[in-house]
Amino acid sequence: MYGVGILKGLGVTIKHFIDTYVDDIRYAGRKYMRQENFEVRQGLKAQGAFTVQYPEEKIAVPERFRFVPFLIVDDADHPERPGHDWCTSCGICAKVCPPQCIWIVRGENPQTGRPIPEPEAFFIDIDICMNCGYCSEFCPFDAIKMDHDYELASYDRTGAHIHDKQKLSKPFSYWRTIAPTTAAEEAEARGGWEHTDVIKERKKAEAAAAKAAKAAAQAEQAEAAPEAEAQSEQDAEAAKAERLRKREAALARNRARKEQENQNDE
| Highest mean predicted confidence (pLDDT) among 38-42, 127-131, 217-221, 262-266 | 127-131
- Residue 70's H or E segment, with its range, is strand 69-73
User: Which part of the chain is CATH 3.30.70.3270?
Assistant: 69-194
Q: Give the per-residue pLDDT at 31.
A: 60
On whether the CB atoms of residues 87 and 172 are closer than 8 A, the answer is: no
Q: What DSSP character marks residue 60?
A: P
Q: Give the per-residue pLDDT at 88.
A: 92
At residue 142 the predicted structure's pLDDT band, cuts being 50, 70 and 90, is very high
- At residue 35, does pLDDT exceed 80? no
59-75: per-residue pLDDT in tens? Answer: 778 889 999 999 999 99
HEC profile for 84-150? CECCCCCCHHHHHCCCCCEEEEEEECCCCCCEEEEEEEEEEECCCCCCCCHHHHHCCCCCEEECCCC
Sheet of 169-171, strands arranged across: 144-146, 69-73, 169-171
- At residue 215, does pLDDT exceed 80? yes
Average the pLDDT over 253-265 and give the result.
Answer: 76
- At residue 1, does pLDDT exceed 70? no
Helices (H), ranges, 145-195? 165-168, 172-178, 180-190
Give bridge partners of residue 105 from the DSSP assignment. Answer: 121
Q: What are the counts of helices (DSSP H) followed by strands (DSSP E) for the chain?
A: 8, 6
At residue 85 the predicted structure's pLDDT band, cuts being 50, 70 and 90, is very high
144-170: per-residue pLDDT in tens? Answer: 999 999 998 888 877 789 999 999 999
The mean pLDDT of the chain is 85
Q: Give the per-residue pLDDT at 175.
A: 95
Whole-model pTM?
0.64
At residue 50 the predicted structure's pLDDT band, cuts being 50, 70 and 90, is low
* CATH number, domain 69-194, options 1.10.3210.10, 3.30.70.3270, 3.30.1300.10, 3.10.20.600: 3.30.70.3270
Query: Taking the alpha carbons of 57, 59, 63, 65 in that order, is the dihedral positive or negative?
Result: negative
Average the pLDDT over 91-117 and give the result.
Answer: 91
Q: Give the per-residue pLDDT at 239.
A: 82
